[in-house]
Structure 1
């Protein structure tokens, strides 16, 4: 492109200079003709012996070069500005596509039809890469979904048959040292736990894939806090604990998925309810600062050791637990925070635990 502009500029300079000099020499030629005709008709005494002055020729050439140079600079500027504008539009398009892909929309494309320059080739490469990535992600998602659903169905059937058998045994009033009903109850509990594990895994995978980000919209923090208060204040009271909720009086907007954030805060409250002893005090609050909204969950329970803090967000199932949980509640909390470009931090309350989630405000 630089060579093309340079050649065009040289041609323009030459043609404009030649045209200007030719025009000026034509005027001089006309003056000579008029001088000769006047001398022949006797209206002039003598003929100018030097009709063309050297200084005039130099001035003509200099003026021609200056005019042609200015026109070439102007035209080159227009050409370069147009090329720069087109290239910037292509760069902006590629940037938008990559940003959209990073947010989970792998169907975005630059739609480059020709490969005239390096940016077009980059755009085509980006489209090819996203097409391949979309196919791979779709294939992995289908496999994961199929596996999860295939496993979920027999587990659900197992629950049904165990419940049915349990009812039969209870109705027959089987008395034995080894109570089948008790064993079946344990089996039911374990099958329910398996179903819960798969549900949580599916939800976390869906969150981490970024698919839910396409459903983001402005949501009211006050409505979310109010939903948590309506559900869990009475639950905490029944468990012999106190849950205090700081509800905002004015609407505070976030860009996100209200269902996921409610699930996130519910997990935090349920964790505190599960681990804290009777008589514990729980606090769910929020505050604003520096363009962010902070959700804070505090309790005065046993807390988490420093060693466990490093692993508490890992997606792992704690098989040694006997409290009914599966050990992935905080994994979901972190996944939801990262989807919303937020951050989760853990602090000691001495005693107890403080979980702080920071979200950017609209």
Structure 2
């Protein structure tokens, strides 16, 4: 799989290797800082021990000088003991800067920072450590102040040591520590790359299966030993393929049935027209034209039903908006509009809305077609002097619409078949067998359901359930 800027493989590698690199870098920095701080503390402790030893040696030398007959030489460096001079020489060999002031008189070296003119009396001995730069080189400087006591003058000592060599040593230490991390990082990166590439192999296989598949091939995708996440993706794709295949099969059946159903009225229309053209008598011509009109009316009805069915197909509602509408008002208005047709067929049509307002989100044109089909079917197929009632009720989550008639009803064996396209229990009349199929499609597009029930003592109830997907206003 070619790696691009937006590739999943690159994103996984970046989110895996970069955090490791950041953690290793942070760990190396922490180790370096901790080691450097430890070195400074060790260096300061060494300077402190050296300063105490020097202060003790100077105090002993001054005490020896005080006990000498000539006390005027007490501040002279020559009066220091041989042990102190040897100590100074050892300090000089260690590249340590040393300055000593006794009783306000500088007796050894030159301080990097001027000694205090007066020694603080807050404590017998005061130690201060700070860092200064000498010739752009950092130095750790220790100041020791020792108060005067037993007729001995105050002592101030400054000890400084260059830290550049120490810093270089720890930089080398850090480099020596970081060098093994580089091949480790490379090794881990290679292992992660191989692991990610191996893990994404099923995804590349799925990509290859999809790319090499023919457009007409809607068989399920098969992946062996795929991870759980990819199995979920392949299952979703297989469901989509199955749904697409079902939709295509449905469309093929629809086209075949529609062609078959249209062929008959169109052929009859053509035949009647040809006969009318050869008819000489006005009465015969009028009869032929009536037959032509009947065939044309049936063809128009069939085409309108086919268009309504196509509009209610799955996926066809993407461009048809759903609006807030009052289902109770729609049912009352439709019932009123169909009363003249019911009276012409000597059918008693009534409306029983037990809900004053029933607000839902739906397509008003399709819902109108839904209830027109139900009421017209009831009017068409029940005997004269029958009755049809449209009833609207509700529960907590749904609106319930019943279209009840007192006709002969439908046997249980045919209750599901009437929803099939072009199924007609009776071949009489001008029906085309699409009315109930349209009802089912429209109800399903509105996330509802429809079923047929037996009325008491006889008759049929078409029970439609629509969800309350909009709060009542």
- Normalised by the length of structure 2, the TM-score is 0.49
Q: Is 1:293–2:399 an aligned residue pair?
A: yes
Query: Which structure shows the higher strand fraction?
Result: 2
Q: Is 1:18–2:31 an aligned residue pair?
A: yes
- Map of 2:376 onto structure 1: 270
Match of 2:45 among 32, 35, 51: 32
Higher Rg: 2
Residues in 1 aligned to 2:280 and 2:377: alpha-carbon distance in whole angstroms: 34
Contact in 2 for aligned 1:319/1:326 (Cα 8 Å)? no
Equivalent residue runs for 1:195-214 within 5 Å: 195-214=300-319
- Map of 1:241 onto structure 2: 347
Structure 1: state its 5+ residue gaps: 48-118, 175-179
- Map of 2:467 onto structure 1: 360
Deviations 1:188-226 (A, max 9, x none): 323432332233223212311422244222221123112
- Map of 1:70 onto structure 2: none
Q: Secondary structure at the match of 1:290?
A: coil
Per-residue deviation, 1:276: 1.0
- Map of 1:172 onto structure 2: 282
Residues in 2 aligned to 1:170 and 1:273: alpha-carbon distance in whole angstroms: 39
Deviations 1:104-149 (A, max 9, x none): xxxxxxxxxxxxxxx9xx99xx99x99xx99xx99x99xx99x989
CA RMSD across the alignment = 4.7
Residues in 1 aligned to 2:332 and 2:367: alpha-carbon distance in whole angstroms: 13
- Map of 1:57 onto structure 2: none
The number of residue pairs the alignment matches comes to: 284
Contact in 2 for aligned 1:166/1:185 (Cα 8 Å)? no
Residues in 2 aligned to 1:300 and 1:158: alpha-carbon distance in whole angstroms: 35
Residues in 1 aligned to 2:327 and 2:453: alpha-carbon distance in whole angstroms: 23
Contact in 2 for aligned 1:287/1:294 (Cα 8 Å)? yes
Contact in 1 for aligned 2:350/2:389 (Cα 8 Å)? yes
Q: Secondary structure at the match of 1:260?
A: helix
Per-residue deviation, 1:245: 0.7
Instruction: Return closer, same or farther for 1:199/1:229 CA change in 2, 3 Å cut-off.
Output: closer
- Normalised by the length of structure 1, the TM-score is 0.62
Contact in 1 for aligned 2:272/2:288 (Cα 8 Å)? no
Q: Is 1:316–2:422 an aligned residue pair?
A: yes
Deviations 1:232-291 (A, max 9, x none): 123222322211112366432222111111111111101110111122121101111131
Deviations 1:293-348 (A, max 9, x none): 11111011110011111211001254962222112210110010111111011100
Q: Secondary structure at the match of 1:337?
A: helix
Match of 1:192 among 287, 291, 297: 297
The 10-residue stretch of structure 1 (220-229 or 183-192) with the greater mean CA deviation from structure 2 = 183-192
Contact in 2 for aligned 1:210/1:339 (Cα 8 Å)? no
Residues in 2 aligned to 1:236 and 1:43: alpha-carbon distance in whole angstroms: 127
Equivalent residue runs for 1:24-173 within 5 Å: 24-36=37-49, 38-39=51-52, 42=55, 172-173=282-283
Residues in 1 aligned to 2:452 and 2:266: alpha-carbon distance in whole angstroms: 36
Structure 2: state its 5+ residue gaps: 1-11, 60-86, 88-228
Match of 1:341 among 447, 457, 462: 447
Residues in 2 aligned to 1:312 and 1:158: alpha-carbon distance in whole angstroms: 26
Residues in 2 aligned to 1:319 and 1:299: alpha-carbon distance in whole angstroms: 17
Q: Is 1:307–2:417 an aligned residue pair?
A: no
- Map of 1:182 onto structure 2: 287
